[in-house]
Structure 1
């Protein structure tokens, strides 16, 4: 009995001595509710601790407790919570961001030890860059949430907002009582396959399943094409990362030492890998560079994970915070593939009485296959939707989500679904779409465009118009459009009508017939402005220059034969009826004529090697090219057939490219060249667009007068440079204003053949003088140079232009000041 007693006593004593305490929980951002990965969690007064995983979770097992648990992370206010004497307990933390300020570093003699680590990591970039693979494909899960935040009291007191705040208050907060209220407006989940091929560099994403809910979202097909992972790629092995159309320098780029300082914090175990933990800081706080923490493996100097933010002082507008967290894993061939990426973009309030915007992006990647390239034709469409992309049971999402939706995310879904049903929300969201697109959907038709409802000019006086078009609900194979307008000054009707048949969506193939009668202006080429309804409507206000009635009937066909290569052809029968004093001499009889008819056959090609195209309902929309130029070649032949009066040929070439230049910012150039063969009246020639207004525009030569020059052969280069913060970021006081330097250089060569000069008389048949056209000497190009500053008070831009040639022309001015307003980040 005595031995049994001592055995039981020993059991209880040893159990208390060897008790295992388990503390678990989650660390999140108090403002956004997002998890904070890689935060330090430690028992106060001890060395026992751990870092949170990518989802912000932690688990600490220990045999001895302290009185409290402390959580800390750079950029956040350290927080501690008391511990209780329990074997298992759950303690969650919500950390508030702190105003992070860069510190000055002073190193003793010798090189900063972090530099050698970064130098080796930079030297081995090609070994681990996924772009070095011949091909790779991944299965991705992408989640996007967009919220309205910074709901100030002034904003909440607005009558229109008060109708929804009581709904917001009735639903569980998206963070706990330490967080901030947010108003969710969009949530999406997407499962997709992403494909990459090198040489040539091609990308494609196939959306397998997508679930989209959002205020103002009526058709998920268009939205689903931009909610996948193709638009959420962040590769720190590139020198420059493009975020919000801005270029940010990578901490392991070739030029790392010019942009960053580093601090070696520790050597830590991350999973099974021993890593160097380094803090990174921009040398100049206004530069587009990161601050935060990176982990580099000791074994091979590859990136293990990153947690980086953009400093608030960076030369960006309206952006309060950008945060990127990423985990990387090796592929079977060696180069790294991001396994998880989380991005948070917080847009600040434009004014104190408005709200801000919060966008969250999460991508998880698995099922990686490398070096098995697909055929080039497979990449014909950059983003492809599977036929049943929007049809999936909840069981599918439960099986394909890396982690279940959190209670906060479920509350987001509840809130968005509720908001969509509130009339005032529907009114504002549909009104915003109406303003942006120009059309108001009503069932199977759209009414618009609104800029054409009312115009006023010296020919028509008051002009009223209305248009209709069918949408995808009517048909995904047919698009019908019509527009009718009436001018009360000239008492004439104008109209436009077209019918488009979509024959193939995968290799975009369409056939269109059209007919229109409209007032046009020599040099504006309104036929090329149909996609810009606002600019088109603005051209119909005020004094019309060299106006004429343009009547056209025709047929257009187009087909994309392979990715980026679009071929188009057509025929057009047109009529030119001038509304100003215009005459030309008929080629054979040399008789005076004031109007003419044309019959043209047309052909053209467009090629954008890496241009991203999405299908927007029944139309194609370009999201731009990544790094290659976009080419367009067009040919037209005028024939004396079906009533045509003129014989001629027109050949033109257009090239556009946006060039990311890193430290120097972004450059854009447009090359435009053409030649017209045959004797024709000058409205058929190239009438170069000038700008006599006070406002700067990229569409015109800003020191040239309207219709000042005409050419039948021409070549122009228009270049503009946005230097971002280059130069001005280094000037004291100026750098706090966040001004950005810009530059322009526009050159035009042109000439007119003698026979096209001679067919324009100086006087009309009654002997009255006629307005003719100006012309260039091909050996003496037209040149204008400009420079200026943008981002003045965040919205305004001022450009100073010098006209360098043809200063003796009537009305020519050597110096121009142009202003403009813009909304840029």
Structure 2
């Protein structure tokens, strides 16, 4: 019995000698409250330490305690805290960002050892790039938070802001470590299934559940399509990553040595993998490149983790910081999939009297599977919503979200719900939407557009107008639209009426019928300038160029047969009534005619291989292509036996593409070619768009006069290049201003057949001179070259254009200066 107790005491003493102390806690960013993954935690004066996980949590076990524990991470100020002599304790840290500047490293002999690691990682990219998978799918969870921060004193003392803060004082206030209040304005959570297939490259996200709360958010269907993981994809195995519409070079890009320097910092164990830890930083501080840390597997040279940021010195507007943290896991087939990604975008104060903005995005993926790809028809719509996507309550999200919300995030939800109900907030948010979209939401209807409320020109004098359309709250199958205006000088009433029926939202299929009576201008038709609002508005005020009263009826059918392939057909009847001196010779009788009617049947095919389309309420919205061009082919035929006065045919071809040309920047080009068959009045020809306004537009030839040239066969190339700071970043004084060089080249070939030249007389029946149209020499192109600077005071752009050919034309301007304004990052 004594021996048994003696053995028990010995066992207890032995276990006590091996007893461990456990210290756990969380490392967060003092400014944003977000976790800091991969931070180094070490007991002071020992070699005992661990790294925090992706959520910033750590758990350190030690046989013996020291007096304090220290946390450090690149880009942050290290911190230490005292420890208690306890077997288990919790110690949290809030680290403050530091203005980190990498010192120059000098290697006495041989190559930088980090270079060989990067070289091996680049050579093995094809084994680990997820784009090499034939297909994969995953279940994703995404959350987005947008906060107002860095509120200036002038901003916070405004009467309207004080009304808001007075109401919010009853709620737990969110602050950063410096005591500055953070005001959340948006929070969303999304559960979805993500699908990918290769050859062809297609992606699809099915949003199963989505919860959105935010200031100014009145309908969640559109927002739910863009808050999922489909728009939060960051693949560092690509040479270039597109973030906020800018292209940033990856640290393991093929041309890595031209953009980056590296330092081998350490060798650590991450999970079960031994990894190299490398610091990366741009060779030129203003290049669109990353700085931070990457972890590369010692055995396979695969990326394990990244923690990268865009430095403040990068040539970006308003953005103080972009930070991307990512954790990657291998699939069964070998290539890597990001299992967790966190992105922070911090936008500074536009003026000292305003506030800043902080956007935080988090995505996690699990249940990753590879296998047989889905059929291409499955990917017809890039983002779809389940019928009950908005039905999840608090309990559902508590059970189903992959990662629990922190106390701060729960407070964010409560604050946003309260904030969006404050009357003055609703007033300002609705006002901002009204200004941006042109329409004011009133129940199931939208009133607008506001640019059409007032106008003044030499034909109508003062013009007043008003319009309205139904919203998706009225119906997701029917859309009604109407607009009316009255000119007090011409005493004419103008109108637009339209009804659209949506037959199929998956294979986007619609029928629409519309009628319109409106004043238009030859070569400046409203239908061709809808995407150039400033230029359109400038051309509609003052003196109108060759105006005519356009009365038309249009019946349209549209269907997307498979992803990216859109078919559109129209039956279009138009009455042309000139409000200027115009005549043409009727084909058969050769009598003078001044007005005409056309009945036109049109069909067009449009294909965008990787174009991202979402259904925005009752309309399709394109986010543009990422790599491949958009191609469109159109054919139209004017038919006399359906009531038209003129028989003709039109064939048009259009090609658009965005090109990433590496360190040189980004290019965009548009190729347009066509031909008009038959004898027609010149308003039916292609009246090439000139620009006599002060404002720059990419849709026009900026040194060409209005109505200077028309063609019945034509081909044009518009090339625009954005250097993104490539040239001006190297000039010491200019680079501080963050100006960016731009360049343009516009070329046009065209001609007019003899029958369409003789069709338009130079004099009217009374012998008075008539303005007709100019013609291009088929062997001599119209050429203009331009160069300029954008991002002046972060808003203005100025372009200088030189007209190279046709300098002898009456009124030709060999040189033109155009200005424009744009909010770009």
Q: Aligned partners of 1:703, 1:21: CA distance in 2, in Å?
A: 77
Match of 2:369 in 1: 369
Residue deviations 1:700-719 (CA, integer Å, cap 9, x gap): 00111111111111000000
Match of 1:492 in 2: 492
Give the drift of 1:396: 2.9
Task: Check conservation: 2:41, 2:52, Cα contact below 8 A.
Answer: yes
Instruction: Give 1:184-333 correspondences, 5 Å limit.
Output: 184-333=184-333
Q: Aligned partners of 1:165, 1:108: CA distance in 2, in Å?
A: 59
Instruction: Give 1:524-539 correspondences, 5 Å limit.
Output: 524-530=524-530, 536-539=536-539
Give the drift of 1:90: 1.2
Q: Aligned partners of 2:552, 2:787: CA distance in 1, in Å?
A: 41
Task: Check conservation: 1:606, 1:632, Cα contact below 8 A.
Answer: yes
Match of 1:415 in 2: 415
Task: Check conservation: 2:702, 2:801, Cα contact below 8 A.
Answer: yes
**Between 584-593 and 530-539, the greater mean CA deviation after superposition:** 530-539
Give the drift of 1:15: 6.9
Relative to 1, partners in 2 of residues 1:734 and 1:94: Cα closer, same or farther, differing over 3 Å? same
Give the drift of 1:536: 4.4
Match of 2:551 in 1: 551
SS at match of 1:764: coil
Give the drift of 1:635: 1.3
Give the drift of 1:737: 2.1
Instruction: Give 1:95-494 correspondences, 5 Å limit.
Output: 95-175=95-175, 178=178, 180-494=180-494
Instruction: Give 1:577-726 correspondences, 5 Å limit.
Output: 577-726=577-726
Residue deviations 1:323-359 (CA, integer Å, cap 9, x gap): 1000101100000111100011101111111111111
Residue deviations 1:7-39 (CA, integer Å, cap 9, x gap): 999788767654422111111111111000011
Give the drift of 1:677: 0.7
Give the drift of 1:804: 0.4
Instruction: Note if 1:80 corresponds to 2:83.
Output: no
**Between 784-793 and 304-313, the greater mean CA deviation after superposition:** 784-793
Match of 1:802 in 2: 802
Q: Aligned partners of 2:405, 2:297: CA distance in 1, in Å?
A: 32
**Between 409-418 and 537-546, the greater mean CA deviation after superposition:** 537-546
Q: Aligned partners of 1:265, 1:102: CA distance in 2, in Å?
A: 12
Task: Check conservation: 2:722, 2:743, Cα contact below 8 A.
Answer: yes
Q: Aligned partners of 1:544, 1:685: CA distance in 2, in Å?
A: 19
**Between 316-325 and 790-799, the greater mean CA deviation after superposition:** 790-799
Give the drift of 1:540: 2.2
SS at match of 1:635: strand
Task: Check conservation: 1:451, 1:534, Cα contact below 8 A.
Answer: no
SS at match of 2:306: strand
Q: Aligned partners of 2:83, 2:630: CA distance in 1, in Å?
A: 63
SS at match of 1:225: helix
Match of 2:42 in 1: 42
Give the drift of 1:119: 0.6
**Between 13-22 and 376-385, the greater mean CA deviation after superposition:** 13-22
Relative to 1, partners in 2 of residues 1:623 and 1:5: Cα closer, same or farther, differing over 3 Å? closer
Q: Aligned partners of 1:441, 1:379: CA distance in 2, in Å?
A: 33
SS at match of 1:701: coil
SS at match of 1:114: helix
SS at match of 2:507: coil
Residue deviations 1:701-740 (CA, integer Å, cap 9, x gap): 0111111111111000000000112122223222222221
Give the drift of 1:96: 1.1
Q: Aligned partners of 2:99, 2:462: CA distance in 1, in Å?
A: 56
Match of 2:25 in 1: 25
SS at match of 1:624: coil
Q: Aligned partners of 2:406, 2:82: CA distance in 1, in Å?
A: 25
Instruction: Note if 1:773 corresponds to 2:788.
Output: no
Q: Aligned partners of 2:494, 2:534: CA distance in 1, in Å?
A: 18
Match of 2:740 in 1: 740
Q: Aligned partners of 1:593, 1:4: CA distance in 2, in Å?
A: 122
Give the drift of 1:477: 0.7
Match of 2:563 in 1: 563
Match of 1:758 in 2: 758
- Structure 2 gaps, min length 5: none
Task: Check conservation: 2:696, 2:820, Cα contact below 8 A.
Answer: yes
Task: Check conservation: 1:207, 1:225, Cα contact below 8 A.
Answer: yes
Give the drift of 1:642: 4.0
Relative to 1, partners in 2 of residues 1:200 and 1:5: Cα closer, same or farther, differing over 3 Å? closer
Give the drift of 1:554: 2.2
TM score, norm. by length of structure 2: 0.98
Task: Check conservation: 2:121, 2:301, Cα contact below 8 A.
Answer: yes
Give the drift of 1:694: 2.1
SS at match of 2:412: helix
Give the drift of 1:393: 3.3
Give the drift of 1:484: 0.4
Task: Check conservation: 1:31, 1:179, Cα contact below 8 A.
Answer: no
Q: Aligned partners of 1:535, 1:9: CA distance in 2, in Å?
A: 91
Relative to 1, partners in 2 of residues 1:56 and 1:78: Cα closer, same or farther, differing over 3 Å? same
Task: Check conservation: 1:94, 1:178, Cα contact below 8 A.
Answer: no
Match of 1:575 in 2: 575
Give the drift of 1:102: 3.0
SS at match of 1:769: coil
SS at match of 1:441: strand
Residue deviations 1:386-423 (CA, integer Å, cap 9, x gap): 11111123333223222211100001100100011100
**Between 170-179 and 813-822, the greater mean CA deviation after superposition:** 170-179
Give the drift of 1:600: 0.9
Task: Check conservation: 2:31, 2:177, Cα contact below 8 A.
Answer: no
Residue deviations 1:111-149 (CA, integer Å, cap 9, x gap): 111111111011000000000111111111111111111
Give the drift of 1:631: 1.2
SS at match of 2:398: helix
Q: Aligned partners of 2:209, 2:539: CA distance in 1, in Å?
A: 44
Task: Check conservation: 2:94, 2:177, Cα contact below 8 A.
Answer: no
Q: Aligned partners of 2:413, 2:319: CA distance in 1, in Å?
A: 25
Q: Aligned partners of 1:9, 1:573: CA distance in 2, in Å?
A: 102
SS at match of 1:539: helix
SS at match of 1:289: coil
Match of 2:92 in 1: 92
Q: Aligned partners of 1:26, 1:643: CA distance in 2, in Å?
A: 77
Q: Aligned partners of 1:124, 1:58: CA distance in 2, in Å?
A: 32
Q: Aligned partners of 2:5, 2:639: CA distance in 1, in Å?
A: 116
Task: Check conservation: 1:175, 1:408, Cα contact below 8 A.
Answer: no
Relative to 1, partners in 2 of residues 1:287 and 1:418: Cα closer, same or farther, differing over 3 Å? same
Match of 2:71 in 1: 71
Q: Aligned partners of 1:537, 1:246: CA distance in 2, in Å?
A: 29
Task: Check conservation: 1:215, 1:419, Cα contact below 8 A.
Answer: yes
Task: Check conservation: 1:30, 1:180, Cα contact below 8 A.
Answer: no
Residue deviations 1:665-688 (CA, integer Å, cap 9, x gap): 110001111111111111111101
**Between 123-132 and 195-204, the greater mean CA deviation after superposition:** 195-204
SS at match of 2:540: coil
Q: Aligned partners of 2:544, 2:605: CA distance in 1, in Å?
A: 32
Residue deviations 1:447-502 (CA, integer Å, cap 9, x gap): 11111001111111110000011111111110011100000010110001011110
Q: Aligned partners of 1:612, 1:580: CA distance in 2, in Å?
A: 44
Q: Aligned partners of 1:449, 1:726: CA distance in 2, in Å?
A: 40
SS at match of 1:392: coil
